[in-house]
Structure 1
Amino acid sequence: MQAFQVRAPLDYTITEVEVPQAAPGEVLVRVAYAGICGSDMHIIHGDNAFVRFPRITGHEFAGTVEALGEGVEGLSIGDRVCIDPVVNCGECYPCRIGRPNVCTALEVIGVHRNGGFEERVNVPAANAHLLPESVGLDAAALVEPYTIAANVLDRMQPIPGDRLLIFGAGVIGLTILQMARALGIEDITVADVIDERLSTARELGATRTFNGSEEDIEAAIQALTGGEGIPLIADAACVPALLPQMLRIASPAGRIGLLGFNPNPSDLVQLEVIKKELTLVGSRLNNRKFPEVIDLMASGRLDPLALVSHRLPLTEMPGAIDMLDHHPEKARKVLIQIGS
């Protein structure tokens, strides 16, 4: 069968691999669709410290159960499923307190073990979530990025009437925008430096947008809020140099959600944090958010296909990687069709 394999940084290819056999407690999934994520690009560039090569990447995918490993219950051959990539031990401190997404022995499908850019893949049965008929397999492949949005918003603990500022209008920023609207946040500002992305944000319901290369975002936010600042700030740009500005823009008692894995240090002015009693929260992957997102998709409150700019077969994935590397402004979510 065919798979997209990263053999080493900047060394990737479509290759033939053997069909895996479902181990006890696992299911074999025939993949229908998989989305290319920024994390996949980091693996390709050698910027992911967790990956071990060679690796079949892909952690956003959906498909059909083709075989059941010994002891699997609650799933049947032919079931339509999407896959939570978070594999945890269930025993360490984070797992014991209900935070499996930061398990000390965490494995991520598509990073630590082979992922969805192949025709068939084994996954733990517990990570396969059944899909309602109203959610297509193409949309279901995008459940995972919406769980990232759900997780960071949950970590920020919004309350009714809170305003939200999203730095970055890439795919994650847009999923945060849609998720926030689905959760009832009405006043949402999106900042970016690419006009095409800001236009998409407005189409998806942003209250207002700012281009940071043309406007003074800090001054604009202070004018908008009468100097009070913004209570919720989501960092989907993942640029460490933006943190000091976020601290200044945040209102007293504000919450800032950080998503980036950039290893470079950020300047943190302790005075800004303490005088406002700010809360800075990290958000990694998702903490059991798949059922919530699937329900929101089934109800029509999320529109994942609005994010899709390209649908390509697996054989064209190297070209998609090249496009995302050199012309990111031309793409939102690139969806790879692998099966049917």
Structure 2
Amino acid sequence: MKKLVIATRGSKLALWQSEHIKAELKNHFPEMEIELRIFKTKGDKILDTPLALIGGKGLFTKELEDAMLKGDAHMAVHSLKDVPTELPEGLVLSAITKREDVRDAMLSEKYSSVEELPGGAVVGTTSLRRRMQLLHLRPDLNIKDLRGNVDTRIRKLKNGEFDAIILAAAGLNRLGLTGEVRYFSPIDTEKMIPAMGQAALGIESVSDPDVLKIVSVLNDEKSMIETTVERTFVDRLQGGCQVPIGVRAELLENGDVIAKAVIGLPNGRELLKDKVIGTKENYKELGNILADSMIENGAKELLKRAEEIAFK
């Protein structure tokens, strides 16, 4: 191929991610022309409504997928946590990059940890998963929706609209923004389990042998194994951004894979947690094993109640 077109969103983080992938590909294919084309997604356009109310498969990906299916782009770079577990016919998840820090992080001008927040403190997040786990830890907090790009969210914090906000550590690290606030405090995954695929970039592309061969150089085996477990788990539960689900799989140096998950109600009053241990050899089944264990303990019913609460 002489030219490769990458579809991307226009946010600062999306552009950083796409430029990063472009540079990686240029290292491997210096003669190839690589162009970024910017598209606006539904998730970028609607900024005054909680994600759970406008959610659905493809909130941040559909327009990029349409561009690829129409032949206007060969591939797209996504935050993997935004990529639905089912893709349109003709498109594939062709590579998963090495992960950044998988943790969520609390940002604040006044407080250094979730435990230090005073009762009634206003905490900003759009995520039902984060809301659920925060309120389970600290039912006395006041959780408010926070939309917009990373800069907008940090500005709202600095303007005093929030005592703290919760964002993915990976995005802040990539943009070099950890020093923008007084306290940048990653939250241990034992306290707050991340979203499926968090901190990895997912490369979605047309199912073309030439494109697939090019994109394959970006794939990281450890990330692929971990995120496959996570995405399989969420797919089995049929859960998207309208319900609170956290799942984290970790491939250890000895070849073991530990997968842990949490689901519950957005108000944090009911939580269901589980953990399974498998091996690198059986990772493809591990997500289903974890999901089935939780389904036996009432996961489907709990998620149905969570969705009803989220839409009230």
TM-score by shorter chain over 0.5: no
TM-score w.r.t. length of structure 1: 0.26
Whose Rg is larger? 1
Larger proportion of strand: 1
Higher relative helix content: 2
Q: Kindly indicate whether structure 1 or structure 2 has the higher relative contact order, using CA contacts under 8 Å at least 6 residues apart.
A: 2
**TM-score w.r.t. length of structure 2:** 0.27
